[in-house]
Structure 1
Amino acid sequence: MDSDTLQAFQNELICSICMNYFIDPVTIDCGHSFCRPCLRLCWEEGRAPMCCPECREISAKCDFNTNAALKKLASLARQTRPQNINNSHSICVLHKETKELFCEADKRLLCGPCSESPEHMAHSHSPIGWAAEECREKLIKKMNSLWKINQETQNNLSQETSKFRSLADVRNVSARADLAQMQKPQPVNPELTSWRITGVLDMLNNFRVDNALSTEMTPCYISLSEDVRRVIFGDDHRSAPMDPQGVESFAVWGAQAFTSGRHYWEVDVTHSSTWILGVCRDSTTADTNIVIDSDETFLLISSKRSNRYSLSTISPPLIQHVQRPLGRVGVFLDYDNGSVSFFDVSKGSLIYDFPPSSFSSPLRPFFCFGCK
């Protein structure tokens, strides 16, 4: 075999990712071959879809059997390639000969005379190339084991993430409300337990907005319709005709409007039993007398009727059967994903998460609190 042909043959045994002879080679759907560890790392960084690093063809599966023939040829090529003898560590200082043997007991490289010395005579020795192949096989087995553990961990994490998201799913809220009705409660507002979500506040604080609300308070008169679909407030009593539920209040708008990104802020509701908190379309801030309906308005409302407190939302109109928060309420706006959520800060629990929407206008924080 001439040198050019030999070189071409050896090139076919080289992984195009690491540019070394194949280690545990696999051949994917398109016919190209790579080291299994190289391919896994490449696909792990790229996530989906899984494409061939050479031709970019999408692969239908992510795991393949070892190409045994290619593995054997690559192993022979490694063992027969010239060794680097210029390294001073490869020359025995005592005998001035190349260290070509590996001592299994001491895990050391030895020259021929050293392997026959009394110190090493009883130990098992093997050629460096063969020993290197053995070590590679052991390493590959450990890597495969770690890879399986990593995949199991990722699957478990995905399941836990799905469980967390289900806690913020409005369908769960509806299911809990239906369950409360099935239990035939007494004529009082049913109150369901809110569970603490571990780590949720730490996560939300990564998106905290300081001074989200303006320091200017506007006196107004607020009224909530019976069907919990509209909120009317203005600068005098006449602007809020639904007198039975009317409350003298103060309104505070956000210091800025949001058009993208994730934002979290908290509001203290300790000193007010009647309040409205959330985000509204920015254009509503220019009106003196405003009717807030369900058009890009996401509000959580605390109200008192017949000496009973309740929480409700506008869109969709829904009474929240959870305990009214007595401290701070957190608001999380994920503009890009169309999400608005409310949290009871003292309990670290979710109050309500609006169904996903598509925002088209700037949204500005809003807070209105009553005098009684």
Structure 2
Amino acid sequence: MAATVEILKKMQSKITCSICRGYFCEPVTIGCGHSFCQACLSFSWRIRAPAFSCPECKQVSQDREIPLVNRRLAELTELGKQVSSKLLESTEEQSQCDTHKKPLKHFCEEDLTALCVTCCETPEHGAHKISSIQEAAQKYRRELQHLQIRLGKHLEEDKELHSRMESPTYEWLHLFHHEKSKVHTLLEEEESRSLQRCKQQEKARWKRLKEYGKSLKDLMLELKETRHLLNLDLLQDAKQLLGRCEAVLAQRAQAVIPVLEEYYTPGLIKILYKFKVDLTMDPTSADSSVTVSEDLKSAKAGEGWQVETKFPDDFPRHYVFAKQSFTLGDQYWVVDVTQLSQWTLGIYTPRMRTFEGMEVDSAVILLHCVKKEGEFYLQTYPGSLNHRVKGPLPWIGVYLRDLPATVVFYDVLRCTLIYRFSALIFKGPVTPVFSPGPPLPGTNPGTMTLFPADSHLCACCYSRG
């Protein structure tokens, strides 16, 4: 049996591509004598251009064109695959139970053990789920193949993220610098520290992405190598490999979605208070999924709000407008979202021109908070913000400025910038918008409340209770 397995491995090595670790698919042979799948070689040479070297021996090829398919090697590969399949079947038929000396034709799903027909009748396995070796192997192969597809998709997405990170944009540095410049005398030292921290965080994110990408590649290679395993060997390692795959996939959010860092702007927050306006909500603008309080200062999600709906498609059906609208000047308002896990704040205008020069009808600018698996995420619409936050944000400040038109969101409690929209041109009045949900399953709807214009907010005033 050992000799047969050794012969099988040698035969497979002759018809296996060293790039993808699978059987040749349309094999081509280059000048140095090494062979690869045509698609694998094409991809390898494309990403390594202009050095057209052999992926195996590194010898530089004088020919810059992909060779024609080696038909003889392709036929040999097909023949080898058939022989390998036959050898695997005959080898498994010779495997015997050490106790009863009978062929191992069954598999215990609970103990993950190969069994003979006598083992199946023993009290030890009598109540367990038993299947044939072929059925069990097919089941785990399907699961591993499904995971391989998922890992492959994530690997392609992470390659794209890596390519973006190779030429990083300094959007956050620009936003932070713009806000700090208004109070640069008081905050010059804080700015320097924050810029340094931002670079360190970007470097740390790059490292996390690189490590996550390596984990994906390593698992992809392991999954591809399971093609050549005997059924018994596959079943022995399958559950552990499935567990590692799920563990890596569970790390995706931590690796890919960055944490929204805190860029401290205490002086600016204090300046904005002089632009504070006293808003009230317009109950006639609220749909059936949102209820407004009698004093017009707060709103909550109604019973008809379906938590399954997705943002932003459901937004036009679940909102309430402010009674006040603005055309000129600076306005600032603060909203208490302490009782909410998910919410949306922003502005609405009948017509707007974006910084890209696009004319947009019925335009909204939104900041959306959503909670998934115990983590809070902030998203902007439109915009590029999609970040995790370290915890719930209790008070959100919204600053609206005209000429040049700007909309900025702040974390009032921590005195930090969240996101800034700029270079906008409003073609009509601007109206604040509020959406107090959707509530999470199994929870009671919380209240979204407007702070009065004369309210004083500081950390000592905040209480989670």
State the TM-score, normalizing by the size of structure 2.
Answer: 0.34
Which structure's residues are more often helix, by fraction?
2
Bigger CA radius of gyration: 1
